[in-house]
Amino acid sequence: MGLALVFLLHLFFPIIYLSFFISVLVVGTYCAGQAEQALREPDSPHIVIDEIAGMLAAAFLIPEGTGFLLAAFLLFRLLDILKPYPARWIERRIGGGPAIMLDDMVAGIYTNLILQGVGQALG
């Protein structure tokens, strides 16, 4: 779902993409916290809004092309699994909706920075 949204949002101006991303992040933080309480399961696999927000972060303003979008998806998934610092720390220390969302934001931001660097290196 996140990748489909990225394809769609890349058709619009970056401000629209950014506005949508911020909305997903804010609403997702609240909803993820509520869902976690209702499901009585910390960071339940049934909560996926965090992956959608993370994918949106990963692909924001990356170089154009299907290859970069595919790389964003694969690298984001890998980093989401590995949980590089401070993702795991956030997950353990903060808890609730913010932790559910922010650990994926770390993976998304790292992915974005890596792809921005690759794009710069390739010219």
Residue 2 has pLDDT above 90, yes or no: no
**pLDDT, tens only, 49-76:** 999 999 999 999 999 889 999 999 999 9
Unique residue bearing structure tokens 């401070």: 86
Phi, psi angle pair for 119, to nearest 5°:
-60, -40
Give the global pTM: 0.92
∠ CA 8-22-81, nearest 5°, is 80
Please count the structural domains in the chain. Answer: 1
Host domain of residue 111: 2-122
Q: Which residues contact 123 (CB under 8 A, 6 or more apart)?
A: none
Question: pLDDT value at position 16?
Answer: 95
